[in-house]
Structures are given as C-alpha cells and as structure tokens.
Amino acid sequence: MKRYMMRIEGMTCPSCEKHITSILEQLGATSIDVSFHRGEAVFELPHANVETAKQAITAAGYEPTEAEEIEATRETYDYIIIGSGAAAFASAIEARKYGAKVAMIERGTIGGTCVNIGCVPSKTLLRAGEINFLAKNPPFAGLHTSAGAVDLASLIEQKNELVRDLRQAKYVNLIDEYGFTLIQGEAAFVDESTVEVNGKKLSANRFLIATGSAPAIPNIPGLADVDYVTSTTLLERKEVPKRLAVIGSGYIGIELGQLFHHLGSNVTLMQRSPRLLKTYDREISEAMTKALTSQGIHLLTGVSFERVEQDGNVKKIHVEIDGKKQVIEADELLIATGRTPNTAALRLEAAGVTTGSRGEIIVNDYLQTTNPRIYAAGDVILGPQFVYVAAYEGAIAAANAVGGQQKKIHLETIPAVTFSSPAVATVGLTEQQAKEKGYEVKTSVLPLEAVPRAIVNYETVGVFKLVADAKTGKLLGTHVVAEHAGEIIYAATLAIKFGLTINDLRETLAPYLTMAEGLKLAALTFDQDVGKLSCCVG
C-alpha cells in the first residue's frame, strides 16, 4: 500500500466527498481523506489500482489529475493556521463553520499576545496602580486614605492566575469545542502547500499566517550589553524599581510608565519626537502632557540617544536634548519603541510570500499575501495593532480562504484606547487627516473643566475634540482625554460609522453627570459657549 494525493475538480459539497470516498473504498483504499474545500483526495491504495481509481472518479463526472505519491506520514488539512492568538482563533472558529478540517500550529504559549503578555496582564495591573495612587492622592478634602509599600510579587501572581484562567476559558477549551487540531512546534514553509513542524510535513490548500509581533529593539549603541526589559519581561518583575526610565512614549510606554509611577517608581519617559502622541491632534498631546507631568512623571521630548551603559545595577542613558548632553540614570530600563512582526522563522520565500521593510507580511484588501493561497492577519501585517482588529481580520480571512467569499477589510472606523489615567481614546480622522482628505473642516474643543462629571470628580485635566465636515455637519473624528474615555468612544464610533451629524449629537439626550455627556457638550461648543448654559440644558 502506498499513500497518494489526487487533485479532483468538480467537487462542490460534502455529498461529493462521500461519493468519492465510496468509489475509493470499493477499490480497496484505506486512510481516505476527501475534501471538497481542498479539491483533493488523500488515500492509501495498491499501486496497481491507482489508474482504475482515476477512471472510476472520471466516470462519476469529476476531473481527477494523476495521483501523486506522498509521504505516508504527511497530514493534510483544508486550512492550516500558524499562530494561536486572537486572529488565529477567530479564523479557526469561522473556518469550522464551513466544515473545514483545520490545524493550528503554535510554537509557544497558546493565546497569543493579548491574553498572555499584553492587554489582560497590563490592564489588570494598571487598575491596581490606579487604586494605589488614589489611596495616596485622594482629591477630596476630609478623606484620610493611605497606602503602604506595594507587594509587587503578590500582584504579579494574581495577574498570572487571571491570565491562566482566561487562557484556558477563552482559548484552550475552544479547541475541542470547535473541533480543530492543535500542533505544538515551529512551522516553516517547504513550498506553497506544505509546512514542516517538528520534522513532519503538513499540507493544506489554504494557510493563514497569524504569528503576531514582538517588542522592537532600537539600534542604540551599548543597548545590547545592558540588562533592559520590554513590555513582556517588565510585567514579570517582582519588585518595584526605585527609578524607571522608558525609551519610547507611545501607548505602551505611557501605560507601563504610568503603572510603575502609580506603584511608586520615579519614572522618566523619553522620546525622539518633539511632542507626545505625535500622530494625534495637538490638543490631545497637550492634555496628556499636562496630565502626566502634573502627576510627577518626567517627560523628555526631542531626545537623541547617544549610548547606553550599565554600572552595576544602574543603567545610564546618555542623551542630547536641544544641543545639551545629559545622563539619565535608572534602576530599570524599559524599551517601548514599537513592535516587529514575527516572520523570521517562517521561510516565507519558499511559499512566495513577500514582506515589507519591517518584516511585515504584505496583504491586499482580502488579506491575501502575494501568494493568493496564503493569507495573513493581525499584528504580523502591521496594521492597527488591536486584538479586536486581529479577530475581525482572522474571521474575514477564513471566510475568503475557506468559504469562497470575497470580503474586504474595512478599517476606516477603528476606536483606539490608551489605558492611562486619564485615558486617551480616539476614533475617525484627526483634523489634519480630514484636511488631507479634502474636507472643509470645522472643529470643537471642549476642555474637561467644562464637563460636570469631571468637575465633581475633581479631575479636570483633559479635553474633548470633535472634527466635522463643515458642509454636511457629519462627524469625522472624536478624540478624548478623560477618565473612562474608552467607555465613551464606542458611542462616537457608532456616530461616525453611521454618518451622524453634529445636530444629531446635539438633539440626543445625554445623561447628566456622566463623562459621555462631554460628547454632547462638545457638539454644542461648535457655536455656543457651554459655560453660559444651565446644568442639564442643551
């Protein structure tokens, strides 16, 4: 008995699979795997019967090719997914809806970045930090709260337990629930239809690459010889450092820098660009700069990094700012300069998959790579790096790859949140982006000190900014710096997605003494002074 793979055109449904299987069984074939998704049959059969099988399948109205002898150990699937994060699981679940035989390959821990080392662990610790900071800095007269030294080891263990529970419930348990195969190991392409894992070859008609990303490390002299941490390793430290220096002040740098400031570290944030959150509107940058510096975080902008060195446990960052050299000393150095795609080990050239200058996989609007049989989704394509975007893309990739759909990705209205305190949330176009797209723009800027909820909370550092089409009044962008900004931004997302206007916002009742009321007040601010309105009046 030898193992063969035969391509068969004309199969359109599970009934076709059963028909082909029946023909092969009558000829004495064993280990039969017929897939109309893949358009092939894999089976074991005495060599003398192979031509007879081809003739019988032709007589049944199908179009088989010559049978190709394959390795007896090779497994075949309709859809192989490399990676096991949000994009991978969303794609596997969607593919199973079409009846596909799915394998998922993971070289490390199941669940990807979000549940293991990203969203979940950082946000639970951020909440702990906020509570500690508020206990030490209550904004209300008459409150006599305090907090002792932080037991970071206990916080980390509690965080790890939460991560284990969510990984099991939201990832591991779903493998059997949906009936796909998990294979542990490093995958590398042999050709466009085959990957090798642990020395074993696996074949599929379609693939999804969803291998995510890892912290990017900048090329600063001396950095390779320094004991630095990344967003992954910092969240495993068991003691709060007295001094934390952070290179990079994007959302990761801001969140983790503020977290350790709230836990008791003396924090310095450093960045090359002249202002914080440089891709956001200036009002957002200014509000966040004021918030961080007023809390006692040191923010250095326009920094040139000359070199880094280590003296004992002390890290020394040699910088130049406005032509003046200085040395920043810290007990812990966090590198938060973005992410780099995990593509190096995949041997993509063997599959005809092209990458960009940063190693990202290039895809079209259908999430196909330069090889149309191979798709990619999530952080590995360096689009918007949010877990909900990855899951959205993974499902679309499966619908196209396995379901025969022609769905395009639409990423025009993506809410983004930085979980700082106050939080930063944005959706739609900035003022500059709107102008670049040819809109005649009008804007509204409402300082948080005009929002009743912020006033009663004694937390008035922040801003609401709305960007609208001056001709139609349609809302184009919403940008918020405020406590609970992430809870507010979904309403703005719906408003932009469904074409609501400034008047629509004005005419909608907003509950008084909620932060979301700021959306309506900002809409009123286009042509009114809300400071001269009575409470609850709009």
Indicate if 228 belongs to the active site. no
**pLDDT score at 73:** 66
Decide if pLDDT at 477 tops 90.
yes
Q: For 6-28, what is the mean pLDDT?
A: 91
Indicate if 11 belongs to the active site. yes
**pLDDT score at 12:** 87
* CATH number for the segment(s) 416-532: 3.30.390.30
Q: Give the model confidence (pLDDT) of 152-171 as tens digits.
A: 999 999 999 999 999 999 99
Q: Considering the candidates 1, 98, 119, 388, report the single residue annotated as catalytic.
A: 119
In the annotated binding site for NAD(+), the residues are 248-255, 338
Please report, for residues 251, 329, 426, 433, the alpha-carbon distance to residue 279 in angstroms, rounded to integers and kept in the order given. Answer: 12, 29, 11, 10
Q: Considering the candidates 4, 62, 77, 171, report the single residue annotated as catalytic.
A: 62
In the annotated binding site for FAD, the residues are 123, 211-213, 379
Contact 504, 495 (CB under 8 A): yes
Walk across the sheet containing 416-418 and list its strands.
Answer: 416-418, 423-428, 475-482, 463-469, 441-447
Indicate if 104 belongs to the active site. no
In the annotated binding site, the residues are 123, 211-213, 248-255, 338, 379
**pLDDT score at 537:** 55
Q: Give the model confidence (pLDDT) of 219-239 as tens digits.
A: 999 999 999 999 999 999 999
CATH superfamily of the 223-336 domain: FAD/NAD(P)-binding domain (3.50.50.60)
CATH superfamily of the 78-214+341-401 domain: FAD/NAD(P)-binding domain (3.50.50.60)
Indicate if 62 belongs to the active site. yes
pTM of the model: 0.88
Lowest-confidence pick of 41-55, 331-345, 448-462:
41-55
Indicate if 270 belongs to the active site. no
Q: Tokens 């948080």 correspond to what residue?
A: 448
DSSP 423-434: EEEEEE--HHHH
Tokens linked to 409: 């990705």
Q: How many beta carbons lie within 10 A of that of residue 435, not counting itself? A: 13
Q: For 209-214, what is the mean pLDDT?
A: 97
- Domain positions in the chain are 2-71, 78-214+341-401, 223-336, 416-532
534 — pLDDT class (breaks 50, 70, 90): low
Tokens linked to 384: 């918007």
Q: Considering the candidates 5, 6, 104, 114, report the single residue annotated as catalytic.
A: 114
Decide if pLDDT at 72 tops 90.
no
Question: Do 78-214+341-401 and 223-336 share a fold?
Answer: yes
DSSP 343-380: -TTS-GGGGT--B-TTSPBP--TT-B-SSTTEEE-GGG
Indicate if 5 belongs to the active site. no
Indicate if 16 belongs to the active site. yes
| Cis preceding linkage at 64, omega within 30 | no
Question: Which residues share a beta bridge with 197?
Answer: 187, 200
Q: Considering the candidates 5, 16, 104, 270, report the single residue annotated as catalytic.
A: 16
What is the chain's mean pLDDT, rounded? 95
Q: Considering the candidates 5, 11, 104, 515, report the single residue annotated as catalytic.
A: 11
Indicate if 392 belongs to the active site. no
Class at the top of the CATH hierarchy for domain 2-71 = alpha beta
